[in-house]
Amino acid sequence: MTVLAVQPAPAIPADRAVVVRGLQRNFGTRRVLRGVDLEIYRGEFVALLGRSGSGKSTILRALAGLDRGGSGELYVPRRRAVVYQDPRLLPWARVVDNVVLGLDGPETASRGAKALSEVGLDGHERDWPKTLSGGEAQRVSLARALVSDPELLLLDEPFGALDALTRIRMHGLVRELCERHHPAVLLVTHDVDEAILLADRVLVLTDGRLSLDTPVTVGHPRTGADPAFSALRSRLLSELGVAEDGHAAR
């Protein structure tokens, strides 16, 4: 997808979508990532938690091919898509043209319309982005990510700028879309509940390394009422250094 040439990965099993070995990234003298090893299976939904400034977005940008300044080994699929916290729509292009930006192949217009209806925005094809609400704009951004049928979906705190009610709806939408399209997903978020709600596996990044890597064994439908949910929540919060009542857990 990007101009970056991805060399074929020699000894990588076919069921992996992402393989990261020993990823290090320094910004000047600051060592942000100190050796990250991570694997994501095809179709797996992984959430990456960490405090602000922990380097979660750095990992995501490296996987997207936007940040090449690190060292280590990085194996990713060719077709990747990113959804940012800001919808990042081109204001001078209509909604459908935003969705099919960079899309090649046949029948881009109908694929764009189909993607829009999947996110619940049929009829909005010819609208200008300025007329959309924050939630609608982010849904267009999601449609744009999915229209190319990516093998890896990178979500960088995609719902951070939305109000709580819209966020709940977006969670449902993402779950639906992933069940239909089955991309591998890396969701970077600081919202522990969101991570447990959506992910098959949760990672915690601390001091430039992954300090926790645990599957989410909470049964569906996942609600806060489930004791397994709150148990995992407490565990993740303490790993992040935050007690339930907001004080530091150390």
Partner 1 sequence: MTISEVRATTPVAVPGGEVGPPGPSLVRLPLVGTTAASTGTGTGTGTAVASTHRRSLGQGWQRLIGVAILLVVWEVVSLAGWVGPQELAAPTAVISAGAHLIADGQLGDALWASLQRVLWGLVVGVPLGAALALVAGLSRAGENLVDAPVQMLRFVPIIGLESLFVLWLGVGQTAKISMIALGVMFPVYINTFAAVRSIDPRYHELADVVGLGRWGRIRRIVLPATVPGFLVGLRMAMAVAWLLLVFAEQINASSGLGYLIVEAQTYFQSNVIVVCLACYAVLGLLTDVLVRRLEKLLLPWAPGR
Q: Does 238 bind partner 1 (CB under 8 A)?
A: no
- 232 φψ region: left (φ > 0), alpha (ψ -120 to 50), beta (else): alpha
Report 137-176 residues binding partner 1 (CB under 8 A).
Answer: 144, 148
Report the residue number, 126 or 220, with the smaller CB distance to partner 1: 126
If you ran DSSP here, which 8-state letter would residue 124 be given? -
Q: Residues 7, 52, 126, 130: which binds partner 1 (CB under 8 A)?
A: 130
Tracing tokens 């744009």 back to the chain, one arrives at 144
- Tell me how far apart the alpha carbons of residues 119 and 141 are, in angstroms, rounded to a whole number: 10
Report the residue number, 3 or 165, with the smaller CB distance to partner 1: 3
Q: Residues 33, 59, 64, 196: which binds partner 1 (CB under 8 A)?
A: 64
Q: Does 6 bind partner 1 (CB under 8 A)?
A: no
Put the strands of the sheet holding 30-41 in their side by side order: 30-41, 16-27, 71-75
Report 22-61 residues binding partner 1 (CB under 8 A).
Answer: none
Neighbours of 123 (CB within 10 A): 10
Output the smallest distance, CB 130 to partner 1, in A: 5
Q: Residues 18, 40, 82, 152: which binds partner 1 (CB under 8 A)?
A: 82
Output the smallest distance, CB 64 to partner 1, in A: 6
Q: Which stretch binds partner 1 (CB under 8 A): 23-31, 68-76, 89-97, 233-241?
A: 89-97
Q: Which residue spans within 67-217 are E strands per DSSP?
A: 71-75, 80-83, 152-156, 184-189, 201-206, 209-215
- Tell me how far apart the alpha carbons of residues 155 and 105 are, in angstroms, rounded to a whole number: 25
- Tell me how far apart the alpha carbons of residues 105 and 250 are, in angstroms, rounded to a whole number: 54
- Interface with partner 1 by CB under 8 A: which residues? 1-3, 64-66, 80-82, 84, 86, 88, 90-93, 101-103, 128-130, 144, 148
